[in-house]
Amino acid sequence: MIVFAASLQVHAHHSDAGYDRDTLVTFEGVISRYIYRNPHIMIYVETPDSQGEIVEWEIETGSTPIMSRSGWSASMLGPGDIVTIRAHPERDGTNSAILNTLETTDGNVWSQIEVDEEPTAVADSIEGVWKGIGATTGAFRRLLNQHPLTSAGATARENFSYFEDSPIPDCIPPQAPDAVIGSIVYLNEIEVMDDRVIIRSEFFDTVRTVFMDGRDHPENGERTNQGHSVGHWEDDVLVIDTVLFSDHPDANGRGVPAGASKHLVERLYLSEDRRRLIVDVLLEDPEYLAEPFSASKQLMYTPHLEMVTYGCDPVLSREIGFDTVTDYSEFPRD
């Protein structure tokens, strides 16, 4: 039996605009399929409807990096398992929902965990694995989304549709400074070498190379998704200067494109207690931003966490829903 109830719980999710966050459906059912892949793990559950007919619900939850750190695995569920689902349904009335909690018959309750940890590890430098602190990354994005726009920027935002215009289905990641440094759910790793600094993000396996050998930006250089970055040290502060960003429809706040003159300066340094990485951002894009944008965000040092490969095939992405699908329903169980 499916029970609908009001809900006060709200979570952020990059593609959940179609779900009714004010309503929860609760039901017990039997898993028919469990697909562990990116961008979202999918659980298909059969349960009787109000007329006693068996219907299948499609339950969406987070990506594999997020869910693996929430305790999930490819073999934890399988066809025939009895589960109790609490989820937010689609607004269009279809049997689709985004997961709140899943309870198994052994009494364990599973969900997507996105809370900030308390930073405890102490870093020797900016090198290592870092995880965004939600209180700062959320404020950063709100400020960017509220930043004054030019008429071209305002028009672009007004006409932007995430589902029609986002390049995410083509496996094109967000540009810096949005999600590449500071995501609360995807890890970042910084590697410092003599002639370059490498910044990796779990999200779309994004890699940024910062050249530290004294070179300048190339004249008439190729424009790329993450741009061309050069850097230098000011004592213990890494200063990164990036230009030559390619066009992107959703790069400078929600629905605001990146222009040919986009210019980003980032300053990365440790907090006084050396448990957090502070990233000061100065962003200019005169075609779309009415004035320069400046703000900061912070990441916590998380050496106990391991980076997870995201994996994205653009051909399969468009054909079957973003990324390469791997169905682990036949794998051995934990």
Q: At 12, is the pLDDT very low, low, confident or very high (cuts 50, 70, 90)? A: very low
The string of DSSP codes covering 2-64 is: -EEEE-------TT-TTB-TTEEEEEEEEEEEEE--SS--EEEEEEE-TTS-EEEEEEE---H
pLDDT at 21: 83
Q: What is the 3-state secondary structure (H, E, C) of 200-265?
A: EECHHHCEEEEECCCCCCCCCCCCECCCEEEEEEECCEEEEEEECECCECCCCCCCCCECCCCEEE
Phi-psi category of residue 52: left, alpha or beta, with phi > 0 → left and psi -120 to 50 → alpha: left
Whether pTM > 0.85 for this model: the answer is no
> Domain-by-domain residue ranges, the chain?
3-113+313-320, 128-301
Class of the 128-301 domain?
Answer: mainly beta
Let me know if the fold of 3-113+313-320 is the same as that of 128-301: no
User: What secondary structure letter does DSSP report for 150?
Assistant: -
d(CA 135, CA 265): 22
Q: Which fold has domain 3-113+313-320?
A: OB fold (Dihydrolipoamide Acetyltransferase, E2P) (2.40.50)
pLDDT at 172: 87
pLDDT at 246: 96
User: What secondary structure letter does DSSP report for 168?
Assistant: G
The region of weakest confidence among 161-175, 206-220, 269-283, 317-331 is 317-331
Whether 250 and 164 have beta carbons less than 8 Å apart is answered as: no
Instruction: Kindly report, residue by residue over 130-151, the tens digit of the pLDDT.
Output: 999 988 988 999 999 999 999 9
pLDDT at 259: 96
Q: At 327, is the pLDDT very low, low, confident or very high (cuts 50, 70, 90)? A: very low
